[in-house]
Chain A
């Protein structure tokens, strides 16, 4: 794995003088390709500010942000939109789909902004949405989609320009448990099957299950890094004290769920050949997902 995004000594100060506030203070961290990094912390801890700095939306007061070896924090303002367009994919809590455009057009638009021809943009958008289980929803307006579907469209939009980094701000906050889990699995699949770096800012404890690494931000500073174990079946990172465990031959193994432990022990029904075949990098996640009514 290679370092995709690195920030060093990043500080962000808002305001001047007595009223100034340091939202982020001397933060340094890096994200590898294929890694899911979860930034957690209480409200007002500076998570969103840090995410904005990482995504070239906000210039740090001090420190550097390096993307694939390029110090993007030093780039002039006019050069940042193309960087955001091509190198970052954003996933928002409120989905932020354009209400006037269909799911397909929302995704294709981002490709069109890079100069891609409309027909090609639509083709790629269609492929992505199909991979994400939304083949039958491409013509729907956002208002006609469920929360989970909207977020999958947002993920497709974030992926269409094949960015290096996906930045997700509270991606499961507006979703129910089932849809939240689905989105988490999707984001992890994006990292693992496409080799993208995924940075998630969230309060959602469930996201710990898919994160390779969790950092805690409080008062604008990183506090404590938690070490995670990896589920040998699904590859998810799991905290030792929250995992389903199995002691075998003197070795302690950690699983994200009883299902994974059962699969590890060969207790699942049916041979592997009966499982759905993939047609795309993310297809295995969504072969069985049926469209939902809004």
Chain B
């Protein structure tokens, strides 16, 4: 406690130095946190459709375990087979493809969903204008995409190579990299040559039934399919996206770590160098080296903790502010991300605190007797 108090007082005595140090650390860690938040936001956007379908179980072509950049084709007879499995309340087939949607001057990648009429699951979950059930020749598009494209309900969009009339606008279906568009099941099938296939079967289970058990039962009774709970399917999708960004995040983590380390180490070096006389006085009056080490480590820890807190604050603020700017981006700050940044900060504090220990150990208590060493 004595060391911690000494550290705090010493830091508080040089507020500008402390502020510069904290700002440097915060900036470095914000790079990492913000990038992670952006990727998490993108992943949230990409899994938004899966998370909001309302399906308890996703049935796909055998081996298909996510939505992004895959193709899943099942004969449409599978739908009845799935429906016959005990525990299944209803089974809704959907068609799915990654395609482009164009309107006005804008063009974007979209998950295009072919939705049967009156589908109980799989449709848009937040309709802000028009209808959520696309009718023949119609398409429901993301509202943010429509704003960027300068179109509204009644306007035209090109989807799957065909012109369609916009019949509804939805919220929460857009991300930095794509959006979700809903077309009638029949239109989708026609655009793909009319083959009697479906991409996925969305299943709702009976009250009291366990989705995992139902998924296992479907796999057991229906050949050639993979059945996963909605949460597992979403997790697979998220894992895929985060795996794709993991290398970038790791690089930024490394850069953030190095920058933060350099900032803290330099600040501590200056602090230790500037307080050599006081350290000598403490040694002269009988303080053991370990008290001085603890003081330096505590200074490092306090600086880094403040830097982490500021970085988290900045990133949280970005997560609130950025979506309001109209950018199709919703950075999401997660506890896991904060924990990882805190761990990085902990490592920075430890290393930066250990580096000057050699200097501290070599402080000669006799220098306490030298004139002019300390103004106080």
* A residues in contact (CB < 8 Å) with B: 48, 51-52, 55, 57-58, 81-86, 88, 90, 92-101, 105, 109-110, 112-113, 118, 142-143, 150, 157, 169
A179 to chain B, nearest CB (A): 16
In the complex formed, the residue of A with least CB distance to B286 is: A85
In the complex formed, the residue of B with least CB distance to A51 is: B369
B62 surroundings in chain A (CB, below 8 A)? none
Question: B324 interface residue, CB < 8 Å from A?
Answer: no
Residues facing A in B9-63 (CB within 8 A) are: 9-10, 12-13
Q: Is the CB of B286 within 8 A of A100?
A: no
Known: A58-B366, A142-B376, A150-B376. A157 touches B285 (CB 8 A): yes
Which A-B residue pairs are the 4 nearest by beta carbons?
A85-B286, A142-B376, A100-B9, A84-B286
Question: B284 interface residue, CB < 8 Å from A?
Answer: yes
**Partner of B2 from A48, A83, A86, A109 at Cβ < 8 Å:** A109
A68 to chain B, nearest CB (A): 16
Q: Is the CB of A110 within 8 A of B366?
A: no
B287 to chain A, nearest CB (A): 5
A-B contact pairs, 13 of them (CB 8 A): A55-B284, A57-B366, A81-B286, A83-B286, A84-B284, A98-B278, A98-B281, A99-B376, A101-B9, A109-B2, A118-B1, A150-B376, A169-B369
Give per-residue flags for B325-367: 1 if the beta carbon is below 8 A from chain A beta carbons, else 0.
0000000000000000000000000000000000000000110
Give per-residue flags for B278-297: 1 if the beta carbon is below 8 A from chain A beta carbons, else 0.
10011111111001000000
* B residues in contact (CB < 8 Å) with A: 1-2, 5-6, 9-10, 12-13, 277-278, 281-288, 291, 365-366, 368-369, 371-376
In the complex formed, the residue of A with least CB distance to B375 is: A99
Bound complex: CA A84 to CA B252 (Å) = 49
B6 to chain A, nearest CB (A): 8
Bound complex: CA A94 to CA B278 (Å) = 11
Q: Is the CB of A112 within 8 A of B13?
A: no
Most chain A CB neighbours (cut-off 10 Å) among B282, B284, B286, B291: B286
A118 surroundings in chain B (CB, below 8 A)? 1-2
A41 to chain B, nearest CB (A): 15
A92 surroundings in chain B (CB, below 8 A)? 281, 368-369
A289 to chain B, nearest CB (A): 21
B365 surroundings in chain A (CB, below 8 A)? 57
Bound complex: CA A98 to CA B283 (Å) = 12
Q: Is the CB of B285 within 8 A of A100?
A: no
Known: A94-B374, A99-B375, A142-B376. A113 touches B368 (CB 8 A): no
Q: Is the CB of A96 within 8 A of B376?
A: yes
Bound complex: CA A98 to CA B8 (Å) = 13
**Partner of A95 from B13, B287, B376 at Cβ < 8 Å:** B376
Known: A99-B278, A100-B13, A113-B291. A57 touches B284 (CB 8 A): yes
Q: Is the CB of B13 within 8 A of A99?
A: yes
B9 surroundings in chain A (CB, below 8 A)? 98, 100-101, 105
**Partner of B369 from A52, A98, A110 at Cβ < 8 Å:** A52
Most chain B CB neighbours (cut-off 10 Å) among A81, A88, A105: A81
A99 surroundings in chain B (CB, below 8 A)? 13, 278, 374-376
Bound complex: CA A55 to CA B286 (Å) = 10
Bound complex: CA A90 to CA B285 (Å) = 7
Bound complex: CA A118 to CA B6 (Å) = 13
Q: Is the CB of B371 within 8 A of A94?
A: yes
Bound complex: CA A109 to CA B3 (Å) = 10
In the complex formed, the residue of A with least CB distance to B364 is: A57
B284 surroundings in chain A (CB, below 8 A)? 55, 57, 84, 90, 96
Bound complex: CA A179 to CA B277 (Å) = 25
Q: Is the CB of A110 within 8 A of B285?
A: yes
Most chain B CB neighbours (cut-off 10 Å) among A51, A55, A100: A100
A150 surroundings in chain B (CB, below 8 A)? 376
A29 to chain B, nearest CB (A): 19
A95 surroundings in chain B (CB, below 8 A)? 374, 376
B278 surroundings in chain A (CB, below 8 A)? 96, 98-99
Q: Is the CB of A113 within 8 A of B2?
A: yes
Bound complex: CA A96 to CA B375 (Å) = 8
B84 to chain A, nearest CB (A): 75
Known: A48-B369, A93-B371, A143-B376. A100 touches B281 (CB 8 A): no
B46 to chain A, nearest CB (A): 52
In the complex formed, the residue of A with least CB distance to B280 is: A96
Bound complex: CA A88 to CA B284 (Å) = 10
Bound complex: CA A21 to CA B287 (Å) = 30
